[in-house]
């Protein structure tokens, strides 16, 4: 069974540019999460989806970050415009149902210059 | 106050030896879950083991076991017979309540296994 797929694995952009990350969860997993992991820290939740509905986006900086999961399967996280402080690893995870174990993808390492 | 505390920034262990990675947590909930994840240099968070607050026995998964001491609010990970491939970052995480999805992670412990 394929795991959580994320692309790209690495992205380098200049500040003020837009960037987008893509995630395809494990087949059949209804719940999808985006996490932010700063260097030397554990991941922090940005947004959680139940199917196509964002049920927890309280930690998402909505002035520059947006996310969508239109058909309840894959998801895109966007930053526009990117700032220097956005340099981090963006992790996607999925779980079968609400409350189940979360399985993570390899992450996208973003560097903003 | 931090919800999850991992006090060991780094640990060294010799191959084939056992190692314990510490984790303490803080919650007022009666129902919660504790997780350990491994993060190798490739970046992926790999699920290792889970302990529910109502589980009476310590969780075990192969070479991994969780030393759950509820009164002390600790959930230490024990890796037996360490292998070179165990070298990675290890994160302890907590899910508060039942059927909630928010995981709170600690800052991690970097484990290095040497021959």
Residue written as token pair 């087949």: A27
Cross-chain Cβ contact A101/B50 below 8 Å: yes
Structure confidence by residue, pLDDT tens digits, B39-68: 999 888 999 999 999 998 999 999 999 999
The pLDDT value given to residue B31: 87
The pLDDT value given to residue A2: 81
Mean pLDDT of A70-84: 94
Cross-chain Cβ contact B46/A101 below 8 Å: no
Would the pLDDT of B98 be above 70? Answer: no
The pLDDT value given to residue A93: 95
Residue among B65, B41, B12, B55 at smallest CA distance from A107: B41
Would the pLDDT of A97 be above 90? Answer: no
Between chain A and chain B, how many beta carbons pairs sit less than 8 Å apart? 59
Would the pLDDT of A98 be above 70? Answer: no
Rg (CA), chain A: 13
The pLDDT value given to residue B97: 65
The pLDDT value given to residue B56: 87
Structure confidence by residue, pLDDT tens digits, A13-72: 999 999 999 999 999 999 999 999 999 899 999 999 999 999 889 899 999 999 999 888
The shortest CB-CB distance from A98 to any of B44, B46, B99 is to: B99
A42 touches chain B (CB under 8 A): yes
Residues 6+ apart with CB under 8 A from B12: B111, B112, B113, B114
Strand (E) positions, chain B?
4-5, 10-14, 19-21, 24-25, 32-39, 46-52, 60-61, 64-69, 74-79, 88-96, 103-105, 109-114
> Are the C-beta atoms of B90 and B108 separated by less than 8 Å?
yes
């Amino acid at each position: 069974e394929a795991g959580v797929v994320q692309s790209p694995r690495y992205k380098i952009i200049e500040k003020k540019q837009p960037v987008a990350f893509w995630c395809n969860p494990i087949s059949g997993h209804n719940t999808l999460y985006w996490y932010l992991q700063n260097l030397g820290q554990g991941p922090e939740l940005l947004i959680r989806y139940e199917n196509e509905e964002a049920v927890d986006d309280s930690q998402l900086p909505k002035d520059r970050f947006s996310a969508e999961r239109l058909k309840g399967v894959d998801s895109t996280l966007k930053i526009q415009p990117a700032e220097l402080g956005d340099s981090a690893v963006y992790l996607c995870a999925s779980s079968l149902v609400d409350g189940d174990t979360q399985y993570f993808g390899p992450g996208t390492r973003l560097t903003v210059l | 106050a931090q919800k999850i505390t991992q006090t060991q920034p780094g640990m060294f262990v010799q191959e084939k030896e056992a190692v314990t990675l510490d984790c303490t947590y803080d919650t007022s909930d009666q129902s919660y879950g504790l997780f350990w994840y491994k993060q190798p240099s490739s970046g992926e968070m790999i699920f290792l083991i889970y302990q529910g607050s109502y589980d009476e026995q310590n969780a075990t998964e192969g070479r991994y076991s969780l030393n759950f001491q509820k009164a002390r609010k600790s959930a230490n990970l024990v890796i037996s017979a360490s292998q070179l491939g165990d070298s990675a970052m290890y994160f302890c995480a907590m899910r508060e309540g039942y059927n909630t999805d928010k995981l709170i992670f600690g800052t991690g412990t970097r484990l290095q296994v040497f021959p």
